[in-house]
């Protein structure tokens, strides 16, 4: 009588084993986050960019917050809510909001490559808190910024100066927000993510209001499905997979999405989005990713 239950338990344990979950989580972060750039481009065909993000994050954050509270996770304190609001302004307001704005005129794959430069800015901002780059990190910074210059020479960004500026501002906001939040009292990782997404609706809503954005007509089915994909896959599943990796693999492997997402986004944009990538864009991609890899290796050695 006990054998079937034992077999079921063994099967469940095998499925829950890191040997199974780690590859699944990596595939999820690589593919899901790499695909969100094209999903954003499809979504903004029916929704204004800031308004779409202002809808996406509170819904995803609200669902995650309700689930965590149901599971008994403690809510943030007042100080933690304030810190989550500031972090959300930087990460989601500037970081994601500017990406949505830029993708009105910049191919999704090129946007992903430009956002990969966030690792370069993070290395610089970390110096403000006494963690100045070492030699290998300085090499990565120089190579990475050279790649940004090469990428701006390509047609993808050169045709849209405002889009290029928005992507640089996005990378700066995400980088500084990431470094700033490490020095502050924040909730547990999953609850912190839920709280930040809930708070993210405030700056993004204000940006939509200041830009005069509104829904003049009913969005298309494709745009609404893309928004649903961003809520469920990009915000909830992708982040859950990332949190699992942070707690079960080396940091260098967990953060490897930074230089895997861009080529994935470029490939998805070309195959599914009909986007065009030129040789100079590919060259800039390779140079930027080389700089990010160098910085990652330097952090691993440190």
Residue 141 lies in a domain: yes
Contact criterion met (CB below 8 Å) for 149 and 285: no
Q: Report the alpha-carbon distance of residue 24 to residue 42 in Å, rounded.
A: 26
| Per-residue model confidence (pLDDT) at position 296 | 64
Instruction: Please indicate, yes or no, if residue 270 is contained in any of the structural domains.
Output: yes
Domain extent for 64: 28-301
- The pLDDT assigned to 56 comes to 94
Q: Is residue 200 part of a domain?
A: yes
What is the pTM (predicted TM-score) of this model? 0.79
Task: Spell out, as residue ranges, where the chain has pLDDT lower than 50.
Answer: 1-4, 7-15
Asked whether residue 19 is assigned to any structural domain, the reply reads: no
Task: Supply the DSSP symbol for 131.
Answer: -
d(CA 60, CA 193): 10
In a domain, 15, yes or no: no
Q: How many domains does one find in the chain?
A: 1
Torsion angle of alpha carbons 220, 225, 231, 235, nearest 10°?
-120
Does the residue 8 lie in any domain? no
pLDDT in tens, 237-277: 887 788 777 667 765 566 667 667 777 887 788 778 777 76
Q: CA-to-CA distance for 147 and 167, rounded, in angstroms?
A: 14
CA distances from 5 to 17, 20, 32 (A): 18, 21, 35
pLDDT at 81: 96
| Per-residue pLDDT, 43 | 95
Question: Helix, strand, coil: what percent of the chain each, to 5?
Answer: 80, 0, 20
Does the residue 10 lie in any domain? no
Please report, for residues 57, 71, 192, 237, 299, the alpha-carbon distance to residue 93 in angstroms, rounded to integers and kept in the order given.
10, 29, 16, 21, 28
Residue 16 covered by a domain: no
73: left (phi over 0), alpha (psi -120 to 50) or beta: beta
Q: Are 139 and 88 in contact (CB under 8 A)?
A: no
| pLDDT of 260 | 75
Long-range contacts of 283-287 (CB under 8 A, 24+ apart): 283/150, 284/113, 284/147, 284/148, 284/149, 284/150, 284/151, 284/152, 284/153, 284/154, 285/113, 285/147, 285/151, 286/147, 287/143, 287/144, 287/146, 287/147, 287/150, 287/151
Contacts of 278 (CB under 8 A, 6+ apart): 154, 155, 156
């Amino acid at each position: 009588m006990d054998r079937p239950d034992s077999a079921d338990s063994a099967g469940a344990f095998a499925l829950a084993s890191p040997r199974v979950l780690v590859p699944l989580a990596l595939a999820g972060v690589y593919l899901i986050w790499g695909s969100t750039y094209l999903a954003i481009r499809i979504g903004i065909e029916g929704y204004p960019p800031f308004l779409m993000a202002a809808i996406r994050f509170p819904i995803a954050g609200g669902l995650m917050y309700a689930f965590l509270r149901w599971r008994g996770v403690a809510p943030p304190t007042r100080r933690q809510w304030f810190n989550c609001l500031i972090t959300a302004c930087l990460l989601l307001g500037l970081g994601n909001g500017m990406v949505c704005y830029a993708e009105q005129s910049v191919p999704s794959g090129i946007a992903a490559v430009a956002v990969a430069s966030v690792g370069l800015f993070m290395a610089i901002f970390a110096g403000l808190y006494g963690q100045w780059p070492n030699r290998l990190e300085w090499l990565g910074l120089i190579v990475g910024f050279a790649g940004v210059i090469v990428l701006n020479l390509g047609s993808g960004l050169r045709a849209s100066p405002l889009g290029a500026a928005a992507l640089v501002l996005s990378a700066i906001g995400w980088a500084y927000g990431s470094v700033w939040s490490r020095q502050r009292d924040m909730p547990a990782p999953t609850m912190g993510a839920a709280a930040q997404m809930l708070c993210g609706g405030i700056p993004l809503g204000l940006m939509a209001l200041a830009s005069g954005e509104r829904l003049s007509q009913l969005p298309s089915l494709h745009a609404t499905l893309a928004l649903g994909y961003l809520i469920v896959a990009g915000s909830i599943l992708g982040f859950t997979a990332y949190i699992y990796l942070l707690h079960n693999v080396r940091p260098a492997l967990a953060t490897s999405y930074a230089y895997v997402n861009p080529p994935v986004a470029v490939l998805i944009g070309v195959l599914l989005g009909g986007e065009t990538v030129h040789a100079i864009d590919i060259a800039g991609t390779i140079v930027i990713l080389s700089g990010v890899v160098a910085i990652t290796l330097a952090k691993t050695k440190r």
